[in-house]
Amino acid sequence: MPTLVYLEDHEGELVKGSLGVLTKAAQLGGDVAVVVCGSGVQGLAAQAGRYGAARVYVADDPALVAPLPQPRVDVLEALVRERGFDTVLFGASVLATDVAAGLAARLPAGLNWDLVDLEVRDGKLVGRRPALQDSVYADVGWKGEPRLALVRSGTFEPVEGGGEAEVEELAVETQDFSRQAVMLERAHAESEGPSIEDADVIVAGGRGLGSPDKFGLLEELAQALGGAVAATRAVVDAGWYPYATQVGQTGKTVSPKLYFACGISGAIQHKVGMQASGTIVAINKDPNAPIFEYADVGVVGDLHQIVPKLTELVRERRT
């Protein structure tokens, strides 16, 4: 099953999500190659080897400087056709999603997305994806080849296994229409921390905080963890925190790896906005709060004591 993994890079580093997909591909066995697109990216090739790639194709060209999808579709199409890959894997991101979808139309090929697992069953590649707000899981597959897959961000952990990869430079040719979109300004990492939709860690507060200034405690913890602060409808209604941070049925839906629910009772209107979170830690005075029914860690206690202590401990560990 000759597999190609699309490796994304950002500001000189290979993106963790795509390295995780590479690790998984290597585990599934067979020949795994990767492709890295950009300008001045040869240096990243060696990294790829350490995460399980047997071969690294480097498409290094000024046309690929900007993180725009369409020229990358041209590169991948040529690579897939010429080298006969039957499987192409992507770690989902804004860019990777656009590339995968464009490639699916180009080849054409079947694309399954939002996968949270991949396995080989009876010689066939099978993906697993959640559906209907994570209430049901579907096993999905492909008819014919190549098979394209987009893996949900952060699903697989990158594991270094040593190993060296062969590096091959590709000649890059792009279509006229692929070059029409031009990047005038490029985004850089935001200094205030991630938005709640992108954050890996969220520290959320509800009525149990008692007063708006207590959000300061949550901000400290979020900062220590590199995460974002969110709020429930009740406190946003009361003007304690901005609507942009509201999680819930009438706010945003988030699925971070780690979600702290501080002083939040956990009514369903809130739950539907965060139930897909990886691990939920709830801190609440009321042992009967509904949130304890679905939190992974339920702490019955005073958040005003516990949250600062958590912040302290996290900071200690970081140093």
Residue 59 or 231: the one with the smaller Cβ distance to other proteins is 231
> How does DSSP classify residue 245?
G
Check: CB of residue 223 under 8 Å from CB of residue 207. no
Question: Is residue 123 involved in binding other proteins (CB under 8 A)?
Answer: no
Nearer to other proteins, 167 or 314 (CB): 314
| Segment interacting with other proteins (CB under 8 A) among 19-27, 54-62, 209-217, 272-280 | 272-280
Q: Is residue 143 a contact point for other proteins (CB under 8 A)? A: yes
Q: Does residue 104 interact with other proteins by CB under 8 A? A: yes
Q: Which region, judged by CB under 8 A, interacts with other proteins, from 50-58, 164-172, 206-214, 265-273?
A: 265-273
Query: Among residues 6, 51, 57, 142, which is the contact residue for other proteins, using CB under 8 A?
Result: 142
Which helix H or strand E contains 79, and what residues bound it?
Answer: helix 69-83
Burial class (CB in 10 A: 0-12, 13-18, 19+), 303: buried
Stretch that binds other proteins, among 20-28, 34-42, 80-88, 180-188 (CB under 8 A): 180-188
Q: Do 5 and 22 form a contact (C-beta atoms < 8 A)?
A: yes
Among 112, 174, 255, 284, binds other proteins (CB under 8 A): 112
The DSSP secondary-structure symbol of 310 reads H
- 202-261 residues near other proteins, rule: CB under 8 A: 225, 233, 236-237, 243, 249-250, 257-258
Is 58 one of the binding residues for other proteins (CB under 8 A)?
no
Q: Residues 16 to 35: which contact other proteins by CB under 8 A?
A: none
Q: Which of 135, 171, 213, 319 forms a contact with other proteins (CB under 8 A)? A: 135
User: In angstroms, what is the minimal distance from the CB of 215 to other proteins?
Assistant: 18
290 binds other proteins (CB under 8 A): yes
Handedness of CA 300, 296, 236, 216 (dihedral sign): positive
Phi then psi dihedrals of residue 223, to 5 deg: -65, -45
Q: Which residues 80-99 are close enough to bind other proteins by CB under 8 A?
A: 93-95, 97-99
Question: Residues with Cβ < 8 Å from 62, sequence gap 6 or more?
Answer: 39
Q: Is 264 exposed, middle or buried (0-12, 13-18, 19+ CB in 10 A)?
A: buried
Please state the closest distance from residue 167 (CB atom) to other proteins, in A. Answer: 27
Residues near 83 by beta carbon (within 8 Å), at least 6 away in sequence: 2, 4, 33
